[in-house]
Amino acid sequence: MHISEGVLSAPVLVTGGVLAAAGIVAGLRSIRSEEIPKASILSAVFFVASLIHVNLGPSSTHLVLNGLIGVIMGIGAFPVIFLGLLLQGLLFSFGGITTLGINTFNMAAPAVLFGYFLRPAINSKNFGVSTVASMLGGTLPVLTSALLVAMSLYLSGSQFLAVAYEVVLGNLPVVFIEAFVVMFCIRFLKKVRPEVLEPSLNTAMA
């Protein structure tokens, strides 16, 4: 999911940067002071989960957990994911600084979108509905992020088409893994700390 320096075209980088900046500003405005510890923990979870890469041809794959962040934080997923990516870029040279905007948008936008639409079903008292929605909350954001990464590469040049295919195919196993990881995390939170899920309803699209 991390696009490195020197790969994308200037229009893609600029567009991604502008969209990410708008999301970060909106996300920061939506996070209340009492939610800062929660946002910090989620940023750390994202940092660690996406730090472990498994090489796959010219690309690599890793857990993302952006779906879980989107469900909990809503639009606040933008600054949460941005901080994780920034630290990875500065400390481990994963991704890059010029690609920070597009990388943030590719991972955060699907998290916010599906978190917003799936949250009512996830908070349902019906076990089956909540379980299915939680699994979709893990799969759909990751799959959409992979497609956005592939599109970013393709829009930067047709020579990246093969790599774009690799990105999508390489993340298919991750999609299934994240379905169960996010589902179990949400089931756990609903049992022990249901308030962690509920407050984000008011700030999902602020």
Please compute the mean of the pLDDT values over residues 115-119 and round it to a whole number: 92
pLDDT band at 171 (very low <50, low <70, confident <90, very high): confident
Average pLDDT over residues 134-151: 93
Give the integer Cα–Cα distance in Å for 9 and 72: 33
Is 79 inside any structural domain? yes
- Greater confidence (3 vs 86) lies with 86
Find the Cα–Cα–Cα–Cα dihedral 130, 133, 137, 141, rounded to 10°: -170
The pLDDT tens digits of the residues spanning 8-28 come to 899 999 999 999 999 999 999
DSSP state of 203: T
* Contact predicate 17/163, CB 8 Å: no
> Does residue 82 fall inside a structural domain?
yes
Decide if 2 is inside a domain: no
188 falls within a domain: yes
- State the DSSP code for 197: T
CA 106-63-167 angle, 5° bins: 55
Would you call 11 exposed, middle or buried from its count of C-beta atoms within 10 A (0-12, 13-18, 19+)?
exposed
The pTM (predicted TM-score) of the whole model is 0.87
87 is a domain residue: yes
How many CB atoms lie under 10 A from the CB of residue 190?
A: 18
The model's pLDDT over 83-96, given as tens digits with 9 standing for 90+, comes to: 999 998 888 777 78
Structural domain containing residue 131? 10-202
Residue 17, in any domain of the structure: yes
- pLDDT tens-digit readout, 25-53: 999 999 998 889 999 999 999 988 877 66
Mean pLDDT in the chain? 86
Q: Tell me, what amino acid is at 9?
A: S
Question: Does any domain span residue 3?
Answer: no
CATH number at 160 reads 1.10.1760.20
Structural domain count of the chain: 1
